[in-house]
Structure 1
Amino acid sequence: MSASPTASRPRILVAATPTPNGDLHVGHLAGPYLVADIHARYLRATGQQVTWTTTTDDSQTYTLATAARAGTTPARLAADSAAAIERSLRAMSIELTTATDRLLPPVDARTREAVVEFVTALHAGGRLRERTVRLPYAERSGVHLYDGLLVGRCPSCGTGSNGGACEDCGAPNNFDELLDPRYVLDPEEPVGYREVRILVLPLEEYRAEIEAHFAEAAGRWRPRPNRLIEQLLAAELPAIPVTVPGRWGVPAPFAETPGQIVYPWVEAMALAMYATWWANGQDPSVPYDEYWKAEHDAELVLLHGFDNVYHWGLVSLVLLLAHGDKYVRPSASVVNEFYELENAKFSTSRNHLIRGADLLDSGVARDVARFYLALTLPERARTNFTRADLATVTARRLVGPWNELAARIEGLLAEHGEGAQLAVSAAARERATAFADELHACFELTDFSVARAAALLADKLAELGERAYSASEFGDLLLEARTLLGWSAPILVDTGAQALAAGVRLDLTPGTEDKIAPFRLPTLPAN
């Protein structure tokens, strides 16, 4: 059987930090969070050291704008949303690495200290540049506009966009580049421009390192996000704002920019480092960035949506490069496309959404929901979620054939008895090993695909239902069913837990044994 990839290197999985301006919906969950959870469970099952983490990015202007609409403070909204996000993660059994009863680290004074330490090192290293830029400005409100405070049209594709980067095409639109800019909280308010002196980090100064990194990592990126990186590199690269005028965020610690805050997107890598430290025990004697230091040779995997390729794929890379050789660089970015609901984007503002907890409260079993999301998640193109498809697809490809297999094993147990070890043939071992090798390949970073893994599990389930096993081949059926059960456990978490509690071995290696102890296959609840 093939060995698991890079088994000797610790792996750090970081999902894009959720903005605490509301709860997570199914579209969010089916992207980086479920994928990271399944991958982390696979890594643990193969004996690899893994830290799977994220945290909320409270400083985003989307939190500020949503709080203003809701008539609350951004701090209150962030706290309430973080609690709701954690409840949704727990509801779907998305289990981040943690040493406490919390899944997400609190965003507190220590978190902000990490951000300040991260950007101060850049400043001390001479990496930042002073620059005068033009920012859209809400004339009556007296607010500088960027990111979630700003809406207009993308200068690259013409579609509606917020500031920072276009959700549709992924192109950046910093400073005064957004067309027809308007203030999100008052679209009728006149918007002008004000010149502001800020600190920036010019991406173009790192072109050679960026190109070398992506030339080496291109095989671990999916085609569409890889094309976006190529398009960005084909033009002059923009400068990243490091400080901006604002009243919500981490105060910038620089004499050149009094009264400004750290640009929210610049916080991401510091927050991810802090979350990794927090997940590993919060030892105050250990620096917040210890686990990302290059000498530990961790394999860093970032998981995010296509709309975050610019920020999480390119900007985050340069923020690490700008610290010299101090930190590891991302081994891969696992990028998902948009997951639609009834052929339209999930939308909190239009209440066009289904939250994960609500889905489960409606009678969908957690394992069934996780399987359907894994099978249909948008890895390389947009996919669509419907309740009707969830019911029909899972009944046909999972629940029905799974429970038929469980009943078949139960019947054979009644016939053979539960005590005696059963013979396993060489042919069954070969089939189980070939199946395991196919699943291992799904988790290689060169062709990573949770959706393909879910499809292979469903196909194997159908194959076991169709294969005619004689009475003397009961041991063969059990070996292949146990292999299926073990590989299903990262997705079907409750079913896997039932099997473990019953004493079934769930490792991912079929083994070379020529006998197997009988066991029952746990059944799945129908929707």
Structure 2
Amino acid sequence: MTTTPPSWITATPPTPNGPLHIGHLAGPYVAGDVLRRFLGAEGHDVLYTTGLDDHQTYVPVRGAKDGGRSGEDVADGHTETIEHVWRTAGVDFDQLVHPRTDPGYTEFVQEFLQRLYDAGHLVARTRPLPYCEPCERWLYEAYVVGDCPHCGSRSNGNACEPCGRPNDCADLLDPHCTLCGERPALRDCRRLYFPLAAFTDDLAAFWERVDMPPHLRALCERMAADGLPEIAVSHPGDWGIPVPVEGLRDQRIYVWFEMAPGYLREYSQARGHLPATPPAPVQFFGIDNGYFHALLFPAAFTAYDRSIPLPRAFVVNEFYRLEGLKFSTSRQHAVWAHEELARTSPDVLRYHVLADRPEGRQTSFSLTALARSRDHLTRDWNDWLLALFTAVADECDGRAPAEAPRGQLWDRLSTRLRQDVTALREAYGVDGFDTRRAIALLDEIVAGAAVFGHVSAHERDRPRGETAHRAALAGQLAVAAALSAWAAPALPHGSARLAALLGLAPGRRVHEDALVPPAPGTVLGTPAQAKEIFGA
């Protein structure tokens, strides 16, 4: 297999203020795993990294709302559940960063901030910040809720999920303390700020070359047209990494600013060191995190070290909705992934969220639609494969036939399949990544093979038609062999089972070369073993 340059894929670290929900799986995590598996089969030296976003203030706020649990207790408990979901769903990360426990993480983030401060990229400003007198607490991020000054939607401090734009907390309209509900006062507070305007030209040049969807590009260009803001990168609080700057050591580094060096830390830990030139990553995230990835992080990396390659592509999902509302851990509006995986197989769930992924527009999850996906895999994928293995058991003694696929029907099907796999490679690849299209193509491949099997069954009715029928069975086995490779990035569990039943190695390339039946005489799996290959 040809060695190709290293590839780095990142997925936004989840906040451990609750379990993962189905919206998370439909967003960055399963999709990023699809790309990782595809590139890995191509021979790329690929790394897929993420971490846990421990220092979000949503963690201690969740603890306070749960009866006074500590932030550490909340984060530890949900981290275990989150990692269990990834393992069960087949989302295989090469590196996970745990900010509160990984040695050297705090120092690395502090050094990153200190370098930007020493170079004059971060400046101290005294500006108003909400303060809750009953709670005796400064309010920012999860501690304050109000109306976004840009779009008017309900928003927490620092960033608005609906429109994706930052705020400075004091500019929220009708603000209230999240914990006690009281209206806060505004008090002057000295914090560190990162003026983005100094990087306007750098960011504009970066936006010209990075692959990103129009929705995110529109957000970037609107913010640039309005004049890029100064972003508070420190807050007075007791949760998170202490600011190393003299006079502000009682403050904590803004968690979204922390994530920039956090990404570098993911790569350095996976490799054992931070190379001078890590590969330009492909980053998976939701549209509500768009400004951070497209403006804040690139500006921070540029300020820190211009030799760090900025991302080559952003793969962005829109909101996945549940009963008309966005999935939300903080509001407990969700179908929890660990609960669904206890009753639904990983392949079925992966199939559904990839087919329903909110790419380019919002989509909505329902248990009824998930049941339809389960029924579809059973009726169309599994039933075809079961019929195939049953026919091979009955007519070829459970061995791959000696006959090679041939005939007009096979020529037409194989031509169409080669066209399909070309399109499938594009849908799996970075430049044309589209999981909805990939699943539709896999469905088309299976449907074509099933029709071919039904039509070819009439070969048995011809005098001396046994040879033609065995050749048709070989053709179906060729499609099954191809499917075990072509579906593997999306549905790894069933694909590995299918490959084993065919006597083939798992993890082969998504390529037309996979469209070959097992060698004549190969002992294949039994019909009993071929039941529910996808979704067992």
TM, length-normalised to structure 1: 0.89
CA 1:141–1:514: 2 relative to 1, 3 Å: closer
Q: For 1:122-141, list aligned pairs within 5 A.
A: 122-141=116-135
Q: CA–CA distance in 1 between the matches of 2:482 and 2:534?
A: 21
C-alpha deviation, 1:140, in angstroms: 2.7
3-state DSSP of counterpart to 1:446: coil
1:373-408: CA deviations, max 9, x gaps? 111111111111111111123313x22111222133
1:73-115: CA deviations, max 9, x gaps? 11221111211211121221211114xxxx5546324211121
CA 1:58–1:335: 2 relative to 1, 3 Å: same
Aligned with 1:510 (options 509, 512, 516): 512
Compare 503-512 and 235-244 and name the one that shifted more. Answer: 503-512
Asked if structure 1 preserves the Cα contact closer than 8 Å seen for 2:400 and 2:474, the reply is: no
Aligned with 2:78 (options 53, 77, 81): 81
1:259-302: CA deviations, max 9, x gaps? 2221111110211222223334xx4xx3xxx14x43x4x13011
- Across the two proteins, how many residue pairs are aligned to each other? 504
CA 1:375–1:248: 2 relative to 1, 3 Å: same
Q: Does 1:394 align with 2:374?
A: yes
Aligned with 1:15 (options 11, 16, 19): 11
CA 1:23–1:526: 2 relative to 1, 3 Å: closer
CA 1:130–1:254: 2 relative to 1, 3 Å: same
1:196-240: CA deviations, max 9, x gaps? 2222211110000100110122xx212222221221122100112
Q: Which residue of 1 aligns with 2:345?
A: 365
Aligned with 2:322 (options 335, 338, 341): 341
Aligned with 2:94 (options 93, 97, 101): 97
Q: Does 1:315 align with 2:296?
A: yes
CA 1:221–1:180: 2 relative to 1, 3 Å: same
Compare 466-475 and 431-440 and name the one that shifted more. Answer: 466-475
Asked if structure 2 preserves the Cα contact closer than 8 Å seen for 1:429 and 1:511, the reply is: no
Q: CA–CA distance in 2 between the matches of 1:228 and 1:459?
A: 36
Compare 510-519 and 248-257 and name the one that shifted more. Answer: 510-519
- AA paired with 2:85? S
3-state DSSP of counterpart to 2:149: coil
Q: CA–CA distance in 2 between the matches of 1:400 and 1:512?
A: 24
1:38-75: CA deviations, max 9, x gaps? 11111111111111111112111111211222211112
3-state DSSP of counterpart to 1:10: strand
Q: For 1:64-79, list aligned pairs within 5 A.
A: 64-70=60-66, 71-79=68-76
- AA paired with 1:248? W
Q: Does 1:35 align with 2:31?
A: yes
CA 1:421–1:278: 2 relative to 1, 3 Å: farther
Q: CA–CA distance in 2 between the matches of 1:454 and 1:394?
A: 14
CA 1:316–1:106: 2 relative to 1, 3 Å: closer
Gaps of 5+ in 2: 460-468
Asked if structure 2 preserves the Cα contact closer than 8 Å seen for 1:423 and 1:516, the reply is: no
Q: For 1:75-474, list aligned pairs within 5 A.
A: 75-98=72-95, 105=98, 107-108=100-101, 109-188=103-182, 190-217=183-210, 220-280=211-271, 283=272, 286=273, 290-291=274-275, 293-294=276-277, 296=278, 298-348=279-329, 351-362=332-343, 364-396=344-376, 398-413=377-392, 414-417=394-397, 418-425=399-406, 429-467=414-452, 468-469=455-456, 471=469, 472-474=471-473
Asked if structure 1 preserves the Cα contact closer than 8 Å seen for 2:121 and 2:194, the reply is: yes
C-alpha deviation, 1:505, in angstroms: 3.9
C-alpha deviation, 1:258, in angstroms: 3.5
CA 1:137–1:456: 2 relative to 1, 3 Å: same
Q: CA–CA distance in 1 between the matches of 2:62 and 2:152?
A: 25
- AA paired with 2:496? A
- AA paired with 2:477? L
Q: Which residue of 1 aligns with 2:488?
A: 489
1:127-159: CA deviations, max 9, x gaps? 222222221111232322111111000111111
3-state DSSP of counterpart to 1:173: coil
- AA paired with 2:481? R
Gaps of 5+ in 1: none
C-alpha deviation, 1:346, in angstroms: 2.3
- AA paired with 1:382? Q
Q: Which residue of 1 aligns with 2:47?
A: 51
Asked if structure 2 preserves the Cα contact closer than 8 Å seen for 1:55 and 1:104, the reply is: yes
1:323-346: CA deviations, max 9, x gaps? 232311011111111111233322
CA 1:526–1:485: 2 relative to 1, 3 Å: closer
Q: CA–CA distance in 1 between the matches of 2:517 and 2:194?
A: 62
Q: CA–CA distance in 2 between the matches of 1:453 and 1:513?
A: 17
CA 1:515–1:383: 2 relative to 1, 3 Å: closer
Q: CA–CA distance in 1 between the matches of 2:335 and 2:217?
A: 30
Q: CA–CA distance in 2 between the matches of 1:320 and 1:465?
A: 52
Q: Which residue of 1 aligns with 2:463?
A: none
Compare 443-452 and 386-395 and name the one that shifted more. Answer: 443-452
Q: Which residue of 1 aligns with 2:464?
A: none
Q: CA–CA distance in 2 between the matches of 1:515 and 1:270?
A: 49
Asked if structure 2 preserves the Cα contact closer than 8 Å seen for 1:428 and 1:480, the reply is: no
Asked if structure 1 preserves the Cα contact closer than 8 Å seen for 2:283 and 2:315, the reply is: yes
Asked if structure 2 preserves the Cα contact closer than 8 Å seen for 1:152 and 1:180, the reply is: yes
- AA paired with 1:381? R
Asked if structure 2 preserves the Cα contact closer than 8 Å seen for 1:97 and 1:279, the reply is: yes
- AA paired with 1:129? V
Compare 190-199 and 328-337 and name the one that shifted more. Answer: 190-199
Asked if structure 1 preserves the Cα contact closer than 8 Å seen for 2:481 and 2:518, the reply is: no
Q: CA–CA distance in 2 between the matches of 1:230 and 1:216?
A: 14
Q: CA–CA distance in 2 between the matches of 1:340 and 1:382?
A: 7
Q: CA–CA distance in 2 between the matches of 1:411 and 1:22?
A: 46
C-alpha deviation, 1:416, in angstroms: 3.3
Give RMSD over aligned pairs: 2.4
- AA paired with 1:56? L
Asked if structure 1 preserves the Cα contact closer than 8 Å seen for 2:158 and 2:167, the reply is: yes
C-alpha deviation, 1:256, in angstroms: 4.3
Q: Which residue of 2 aligns with 1:523?
A: 532
Asked if structure 2 preserves the Cα contact closer than 8 Å seen for 1:35 and 1:450, the reply is: yes
Asked if structure 1 preserves the Cα contact closer than 8 Å seen for 2:477 and 2:517, the reply is: no
C-alpha deviation, 1:522, in angstroms: 6.4
3-state DSSP of counterpart to 2:92: coil
C-alpha deviation, 1:180, in angstroms: 1.1
CA 1:113–1:164: 2 relative to 1, 3 Å: same
- AA paired with 2:70? T
C-alpha deviation, 1:516, in angstroms: 4.2
Q: Which residue of 1 aligns with 2:462?
A: none
- AA paired with 1:241? A
Runs of 4+ with >6 A deviation: 512-515
Q: CA–CA distance in 2 between the matches of 1:77 and 1:349?
A: 12
C-alpha deviation, 1:514, in angstroms: 7.2
3-state DSSP of counterpart to 2:513: coil
